[in-house]
Amino acid sequence: MTGGEILGVTAVGVLAGLDLVSVPQAMTARPLVAAFAGGWLMGHPAVGLLVGVILELFALETLPVGAARYPDWGPPAVATGALVAERAGTTVAAGIWPVLLVAVLVAALAASVGTWSMHLVRHANGAAIRRYADRLERGDPKALIALQAGGFVRDSGRSAALTLLTLLPGGVVIRLLSESWRAPAVVAEGIVLSVALGAGVCSAWRLLGRGATARWLCAGLVAGCVGVLLWA
Amino acid sequence: MTWRGAPGFAVTAARLFAVQSAWSYERMLGIGFGHAIEPLLRPLRAQGGARYAEALARQSRFFNAHPFVASIAVGAAARAELDGEAPERIERLRAALCGPLGALGDRLIWAGWLPACVGVGLLLVAVGAGGWGVAAFFALFNVVRVGLLVWGLHAGWRAGMRVAGALANPFLQRGLEVVGPLAALAVGAALPAVLVWVVRGAGMGVAWSVAWPPLIAAVAGAAVFAAAAHRIGTRLTALSVAILVLGVVVAGGELWP
């Protein structure tokens, strides 16, 4: 990956990281969008889309609810979308599965680091607010602007760090482990699909498997299976 | 005061997109709330700087609600300040809105509209829409996100202290009834479709492996994983279990004879 590409991917990672909580919560932080953007930046949007779909199944239960701690999938998804797209090159074949397996693991670990990093930013925001407490009690609008800008800058830094963490050390890990992968590619394919789908089903059940919506979820699954059988 | 005459409406609406920029455990959305409401409070400057400063200080204190419907509270609180309501009443209004607006947004957006849009997006990708599926997800979600923000600001401003009536809006109530089943249906239908889309080459025109064996293996593996993750869900999230499983498999793949 060239310096320009790293810069471009990091910039998009920052936008995705900011989107999760700070601004504008338009859901570009969802892996479906973020990984697609990462793949598109590297000239392989279809590969980015595959990474996005797989990661979205893991992220299904990630809802940015208030004070809850949740993984930040945006920057890792942008970075892994770009990394897998780079590894895929122009020929997509069975060999992509070990890359995808390691990339999903790296993205999941980075998303977990994102949880912790957001917690730090929130504490830093709290410390800044305490410093401005007197001005806030005097109703100073400039204090509000300074605090909002400070929060924005802190979250931008956090998102850039998370993108670079996934892109650089994560990229090395993906390259080394996927190149030394010795099991058949179908093993990697089966595991990625099983774990992603399992996580998706588990998340969907936790999120929607209560009361009347549980029946609609089952109806959707049946409809999807029927559709797939007719289609296949 | 008419809605059309509301000063700073566009700036407040724009600032509401960043209502969580300075989110902290102490004040939660408070700073973003104060920052967003400030343009609507500017007419108070003409009545003396003290009223403006007092109002701004009050509106920057603790506030917690769903960020997409915080606009309702911003509109209502701004109207109450401009109408000269007693400070205690305005503080009670803000405190009273936290719970209902949090619950409304969580049910309507996080547990409803977001998963519904994700389901539709995944389904569209799986049937071959490619990047258009992503675009559809983005557009669908944001039509409601922006619409809710603007409607909320408008409804809050019109209602002022009587904002509880805005929450009983029939359209909103109908939305709450419909969005859960819609999300469940969309996500449910998307899961098998996505599985087959991936096994058939993820729209890249390449059959990566024999279709049926990995399909059956993946479904069986997914069932085992989902059951295990659900069973130990109180201690670990599905993500933690996934990291554990993927880590073991990566190590196994490296040590494969």
pLDDT score of B210? 45
B184 in A contact zone (CB under 8 Å): yes
pLDDT score of A89? 63
A23 in B contact zone (CB under 8 Å): yes
Residue A224 lies in a domain: no
pLDDT score of A43? 92
- The mean pLDDT value for A183-187 works out to 84
B14 in A contact zone (CB under 8 Å): no
Asked whether the predicted pLDDT for residue B33 surpasses 80, the reply is yes
Same domain, B78 and B168: yes
B161 in A contact zone (CB under 8 Å): no
The 10s digit of each residue's pLDDT in B94-124 is 999 999 999 999 999 999 999 999 999 999 9
Same domain, B179 and B106: yes
Same domain, B216 and B203: no
Q: Which residue of B has its CA nearest to A55?
A: B239
Task: Report CB contact under 8 Å: A96, B208.
Answer: yes
Q: Is B84 exposed, middle or buried (0-12, 13-18, 19+ CB in 10 A)?
A: exposed
Percent of chain B clearing pLDDT 70 (strictly above): 91
pLDDT score of B214? 65
The 10s digit of each residue's pLDDT in B69-101 is 999 999 999 999 999 999 999 999 999 999 999
Query: Which site among A148, A174, A189 would you substitute to test the B interface, given the most B Cβ atoms closer than 10 Å to its Cβ?
Result: A148
pLDDT score of A91? 46
Residue A197 lies in a domain: no
**ipTM (interface predicted TM):** 0.93
Asked whether the predicted pLDDT for residue B183 surpasses 50, the reply is yes
The better pLDDT of the pair B239, A10 is held by A10
Range of the domain at B253: 209-257
Task: Report CB contact under 8 Å: A183, B256.
Answer: yes
The 10s digit of each residue's pLDDT in A189-203 is 888 888 888 888 888
Residue B85 lies in a domain: yes
Confidence class of residue A133 from pLDDT cuts 50, 70 and 90? very high
Same domain, B52 and B170: yes
Residue B45 lies in a domain: yes
Q: Which residue of A has its CA nearest to B135?
A: A33
Confidence class of residue A104 from pLDDT cuts 50, 70 and 90? very high
The 10s digit of each residue's pLDDT in B195-233 is 888 887 776 654 545 456 667 777 887 788 777 777 776
Nearest to B21 among A22, A138, A198 (CB): A22
pLDDT score of B211? 56
Chain B residues close to A130, C-beta within 8 Å = 26
Number of domains within chain B = 2
Confidence class of residue B238 from pLDDT cuts 50, 70 and 90? confident
Is residue A102 within 8 A of residue A187, CB to CB? The reply is no
User: Which of B171, B192, B208 is at the close of a domain?
Assistant: B208
Same domain, B250 and B130: no
Q: What is the 3-state secondary structure (H, E, C) of chain A?
A: CCHHHHHHHHHHHHHHHHHHCCCCCCCCCCHHHHHHHHHHHCCCHHHHHHHHHHHHHHHCCCCCCCCCCCCCCHHHHHHHHHHHHHHHCCCCCCCHHHHHHHHHHHHHHHHHHHHHHHHHHHHHHHHHHHHCHHHHHCCCHHHHHHHHHHHHHHHHHHHHHHHHHHHCHHHHHHHHHHHCCCCCHHHHHHHHHHHHHHHHHHHHHHHHCCHHHHHHHHHHHHHHHHHHHHHC
- The mean pLDDT value for B62-66 works out to 94
Q: Which of A60-69, B12-21, B126-135 has the lowest mean pLDDT?
A: A60-69
Number of domains within chain A = 1
Task: Report CB contact under 8 Å: A197, B199.
Answer: no
Residue A225 lies in a domain: no
Same domain, B66 and B177: yes
Residue A202 lies in a domain: no
Residue A193 lies in a domain: no
Same domain, B130 and B187: yes
Confidence class of residue A90 from pLDDT cuts 50, 70 and 90? very low
Is residue A40 within 8 A of residue A28, CB to CB? The reply is no
Chain A residues close to B254, C-beta within 8 Å = 177, 180-182
Residue A199 lies in a domain: no
Task: Return mean pLDDT, chain B.
Answer: 88
Query: Which site among B15, B24, B141 would you substitute to test the A interface, given the most A Cβ atoms closer than 10 Å to its Cβ?
Result: B24
Confidence class of residue B7 from pLDDT cuts 50, 70 and 90? low
Query: How many Å lie between the alpha carbon of B30 and the closest alpha carbon of chain A?
Result: 10
- The mean pLDDT value for B29-48 works out to 93
Task: Report CB contact under 8 Å: A25, B17.
Answer: yes
Same domain, B132 and B250: no
Same domain, B74 and B125: yes
Task: Report CB contact under 8 Å: A93, B206.
Answer: yes
Residue B1 lies in a domain: no
Q: Which residue of B has its CA nearest to A34?
A: B134
Query: How many Å lie between the alpha carbon of B1 and the closest alpha carbon of chain A?
Result: 24
Residue A126 lies in a domain: yes
Residue A205 lies in a domain: no
Range of the domain at A146: 3-185
Rounded to whole angstroms, the Cα distance separating A199 from B98 reads: 32
Calculate the CA A109 to chain-centre distance. Answer: 10
Task: Report CB contact under 8 Å: A93, B193.
Answer: no
A99 in B contact zone (CB under 8 Å): no
Residue B148 lies in a domain: yes
A155 in B contact zone (CB under 8 Å): yes
pLDDT score of B138? 97
